[in-house]
């Protein structure tokens, strides 16, 4: 039943494909967009297109950014000898929000999962090992507390052992299976402070 006509139906359909957006919400958003002044709609669609076009991975840490090197890697006041390994850019954002971590990051873009067929070569692990040829004091493994996160942490620690670089794992005060981005800052800091050597 195409009671809205093609254009509106198409907009609702596209919106409903976004995560967490059901038919009802898609409808509400579509009506909201139609009611907006044209310049606001242009700004919104421009933001989407520009983000998609310009966002890439940082050359150093592989987080999402719009320049060759992200602002964190480009900041000389940060401790470039301490590297925190996270699964994705949202985890990095969670630690940045605490404002207490002064090192740099390495974003894996996933975790090892034999069940899903994701192996060490499918995440940015080789790139981490390349970075470790530089002067590094400590690698803090802050992958999630899920089975995949733990598997990845163990795998990385085994790779790092022979290099003699200190390798730590954040404390497991973080709920099992909990995505780092949903954990409050106090818990994150406690996990970081309570990290143990692997
Ligand atoms: Zn970076």
For position 70, what pLDDT does the model report? 96
Dump pLDDT digits (tens) for 24-42. 999 999 999 999 999 999 9
- Tell me if residue 79 falls in helix, strand or coil: strand
Q: Where are the domains of the chain?
A: 6-54, 64-197
Q: Count Cβ atoms within 10 A of the Cβ of residue 2 and give its class: 0-12 exposed, 13-18 middle, 19 or more buried.
A: exposed
Cross-strand bridge partners of residue 51:
none
Torsion angles phi and psi, residue 140, rounded to 5: -100, 115
Query: What are the φ/ψ torsions at residue 123 (nearest 5 degrees)?
Result: -120, 170
Pick the CATH number of 64-197 from 3.20.20.70, 3.30.1360.120, 3.30.930.10, 3.40.1360.10: 3.40.1360.10
User: Measured in angstroms, how far is the CA atom of residue 93 from the centroid of ligand 1?
Assistant: 12
Query: 13: which residues sit within 8 A by CB, 6+ positions away?
Result: 26
**Single pTM value for the model:** 0.79
Ligand 1 center from residue 72 Cα (angstroms): 6
pLDDT of residue 88: 92
Q: How far is the CA of 9 from the centre of ligand 1 (A)?
A: 41
CATH homologous superfamily of domain 6-54?
A: RecR Domain 1 (1.10.8.420)
Our CA angle for 90, 94, 96, nearest 5°, is 110
């Amino acid at each position: 039943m195409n009671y809205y006509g093609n254009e509106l139906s198409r907009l609702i359909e596209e919106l409903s494909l976004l995560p967490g957006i059901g038919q009802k919400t898609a409808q509400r958003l579509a009506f909201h967009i139609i009611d907006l002044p044209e310049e606001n709609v242009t700004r919104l669609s421009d933001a989407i297109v520009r983000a998609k076009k310009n966002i890439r991975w940082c050359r150093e840490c592989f987080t999402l950014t719009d320049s060759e090197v992200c602002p964190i890697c480009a900041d000389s006041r940060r401790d470039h000898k301490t590297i925190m390994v996270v699964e994705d850019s949202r985890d990095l954002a969670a630690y940045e929000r605490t404002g207490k971590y002064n090192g740099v990051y390495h974003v894996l873009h996933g975790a090892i999962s034999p069940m899903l067929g994701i192996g060490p070569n499918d995440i940015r692990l080789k790139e981490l090992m390349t970075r470790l040829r530089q002067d590094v004091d400590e690698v803090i493994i802050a992958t999630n507390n899920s089975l995949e996160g733990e598997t990845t942490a163990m795998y990385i620690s085994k790779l790092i052992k022979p290099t003699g670089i200190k390798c730590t794992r954040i404390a497991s005060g973080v709920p099992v299976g909990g995505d780092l981005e949903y954990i409050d800052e106090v818990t994150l800091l406690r996990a970081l402070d309570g990290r143990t050597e692997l």
